[in-house]
Each structure stands twice: as structure tokens, then as C-alpha cells.
Amino acid sequence: MDQYQSPLTDRYASAEVSKIFSPQMRYSTWRTLWLNLAKAEKKLGLAQITDEAISQMEAHVVLTEDDFRIAAEEEKKRRHDVMAHVHAFGQVAPAATGIIHLGATSCFVTDNADLILLRDGFDHLIPKLVNVIDRLSKFADEHKSLPTLGWTHLQPAQLTTVGKRSCMWIQTQDLLWDLRNLRRARDDIGFRGVKGTTGTQASFLTLFDGDHEKVEELDELVTKLCGFDYSYPITGQTYSRKIDVDLCASISSFGVTAHKLATDLRLLANFKEIEEPFEEDQIGSSAMAYKRNPMRCERICSLSRHLMTLWNNTTMTAATQWMERTLDDSANRRITLPEMFITADIVLNTLLNVVSDLVIYPQIISRRIGAELPFMATENIIMAMVKKGGDRQESHEKIRVLSHEASANVKLGGGDNDLVERVRKDQFFSPILDELDAIVDPKTFIGRAPQQVDKFLRNEVAKALNSYQKDLNRIKIELHV
């Protein structure tokens, strides 16, 4: 414990996403790529690639501790990670020593492996996002008609409902938009393929004695063996780093949504209206035993900020690639790309934990409405008086005076908003007293919020989640700390 460890993997991340970007996964993927390249080259007629070479490579795709030790020793000498692993692979597959990496450049394994791991990363994130949307949708449906005070400029505004507000977190500008973005980004991932040193395939053209068709077939064979439908037709030594910009933009954009959602929940926790789950033995504060700090939502906000900033690395890297490539992208991408997915995974895990067990306090919500609604109802009271034959200006003046009195009672006297009671006691308003309870009923101030929720969940959410039914409710909700 005397060396720095990343809290992303040591403290927060799930084992699944850590495994995707682990050394074992990366380097065994390199070996799989070399194996697939050799298989395709053999199929296309390169006689120097024997069945024994293929067999030995297949038997040693997964690295052992000795493999890692040999590769580390070689890299210290050669200062080249790919060649160090070529050597280590040759140690356990001696029949393939002369043909491992045949015709390829380092980016054949590094870039193609990155694309495989990025695709696997999206396949890991998307089902979790689907479950967040599904759980939040159930909460929205349950509370679609529960009135709550709306806020604009963080000042009391017209009522909405708890369910309607929840749908604002899900709606097409937020979580559903993120689902669309992640799905599109995942489906757009191609394969760098077999392109050679500067992307011209010159080395492979030499291998196949100038046969262009065989070179194209080699690219197609390896692409299919690695589980891709197509490879990028034009590359330099690397695939375009603009692809990283596009892929990571979708994940950073999710960070924006998560931060906004968690911030709203932190504010609602302050209002004591809705809280994240709080465990029986959980401690909110080391000094103030009564506190229930929203630590999960705070973590979401904290890591979402990190997630949003990572995208900037991909833009700067893409912008500074000289000609066919430079190596100043390598160290940056080793950090940025795994952290992008690991951080998103942590945020999704925490968010899923929060929305699966939100705690709601209807009485507090009702009390807060009671403190503000009477003022909002003044126009309705005036209109009701006019309908009974009253004078609008006189009604307006009466309610204005009573409103100021009620406001003074709240602000100066520290009392409750008693405007409705003042109206009830004033004989001027006797024509509408039998209607007063209905006039100030919160449900008359929520407009079409319940109907909007019903339509949104039925049309937009159900449609978006329809193809993910197999992923629903299979995600284990687990927080490491």
C-alpha cells in the first residue's frame, strides 16, 4: 500500500469493466489479432505459416504470469511494448516465431485492440443505462399525479408533479438522448483492419507478390474473424483519432445528464422532499450524527465532472496528429479511453442504485405546496368571484391586501401562509366559500402533467426500451463503498 492506486479501479469500479481494460484483456486481444492475421494469411496461400504454428498460437492466447514477466523484461531492453509481446508470444509458440506480426505494424494490434475494447465497453455501459431509464420510468409512473412545487430560477413557480419532473430527467434531451448516442456510437465502430505502416498496405502487397485482390481479401478475412462487419477504408498508421472524439463525446454527454439529475436530487434532499437510499448502518457525518448527506449523488456529480473533462483530451489529441501519425497520442489514450468507460460505469452503477430506491416524503411536499400555493391561487380566486358577479378590480384589491397580510405573517411573524383562511373569514368572498377548497386544490394546478407522463412513457420510453427487454432487471446493483 505504499504506491499510488487509482481510486477509479481500487475504490469504485465494477470488476466487469475493470476486466475489459485490464492488461490480460488487452494483451490476449493482441495475441488473438496475431492469430487471426496468421490464419487469414495461411488461408490465402502463405506457405511459411504452418498448422503447428497456428496450433501453438491458439494454445497460448491467454497470458500466464511468465508471459507478463518475459514481456516486461523485453520492454525494458527494447523500449517497445509491441515487440516485447511479439517476443513473449514467440517464446510459448516457437513454431510461429518467424510469422507472428507478419507484414503488420504495431498499430495493427494496438489500434484494432482498442476498437475491440471500446466496442466491449459500450456493450457493458448500454444495458446499465437501459436499466436506469427503466427504474426511473417506474418511479415516474408511480408518482405521475403527485403535485409538487415547480421551481424556475430556483424560485417557487407553478406546480408540476413528481412524475413529470422525473420524466424531464429521462426525456429525449437527457437519458433517452444518451441511449441513442451510445447506441449510435457503438454501432458506428469499425475496424482498422490490415493496413500496414502508413495505411497503404504496401507490406502486404509485397507478401502476396503484388496481388491486390488477395490484400483486400486479407483485410476482409481478418475483419470478419475479429467480429466486425467492415474496416475503415482509409487510415494512416492509426485509425483517425476523430473516431475517439466521436465515441467519447457520447459518454461525456451522459456525464452532463448524470450531473444535472444528481444535482436536482441533492436540492430535493435539502428540501427534504426526496432522498437517495440511506442504509441502516450508514453514517452521514462523523460529527453531526443526525445528517443524511446525499453521498451517492455527490459522488455522481464529482465523477461526472471528471467524465465531462476527459472528452477534451480526445479533441486535443485528434487535433495534433501530424501527417500519417505521431506517437504523442499513445500515453494520453492509455489513460483517457479506459478512464472514460470506467468512470461512466461507476456513475451508472451509482445512479442505478439511487433511482432504484428513491425515498419520497409526500407530507413534506404537500406542506411546501401549502406554503406557496395560496399566492398562486389568487388569480383563480379573482376569476371565481367575477363569475359570481363580483367586480374584478375590487376583488383584486381585496386579495392584494390579504396577500400582503399573509406574506407579513410568514416573513415577519414566522407563521404559516394563512391566506386561504383570511379569504375564508372575509365576508367579501362569501359567494365562493363553498368552492374555495376546490379552487386551491393542488391537483387543479398541475395542468396535463399526468397525461404527459402517460403518453411519454407509453410512446417514447417503451419504444426506446423495446429492443432491450433481455437486459432489464438483470443488472446487479452493487456499490463498492
The residues that are catalytic are 153, 285
Please give the Cα distance from 25 to 10 (Å, whole number).
18
Please give the Cα distance from 166 to 139 (Å, whole number).
8
Task: Give the count of beta carbons closer than 10 Å to the beta carbon of residue 317.
Answer: 20
Residue 160's DSSP bridge partners are: 148
* Closest by CA position to 349, among listed 4, 17, 3, 7: 17
Written as nine digits, the cell of 162 is 413528481
Please give the Cα distance from 451 to 164 (Å, whole number).
9
Q: Are 301 and 347 in contact (CB under 8 A)?
A: no
447 backbone dihedrals φ, ψ, rounded to 5°: 55, -135
Task: Give the count of beta carbons closer than 10 Å to the beta carbon of residue 1.
Answer: 3
Task: Spell out the residues 6+ positions from residue 373 whose beta carbon is closer than 8 angstroms to its own.
Answer: 159, 440, 442, 445
Please give the Cα distance from 175 to 172 (Å, whole number).
7
As a three-state string, the secondary structure of 194-220 is: CCCCCCCCHHHHHHCCCCHHHHHHHHH
Please give the Cα distance from 184 to 178 (Å, whole number).
10
Q: Are 122 and 189 in contact (CB under 8 A)?
A: yes
Written as nine digits, the cell of 338 is 479506459
Please give the Cα distance from 464 to 479 (Å, whole number).
27
Please give the Cα distance from 62 to 31 (Å, whole number).
8
Q: Are 167 and 160 in contact (CB under 8 A)?
A: no
* Closest by CA position to 249, among listed 343, 153, 314: 314
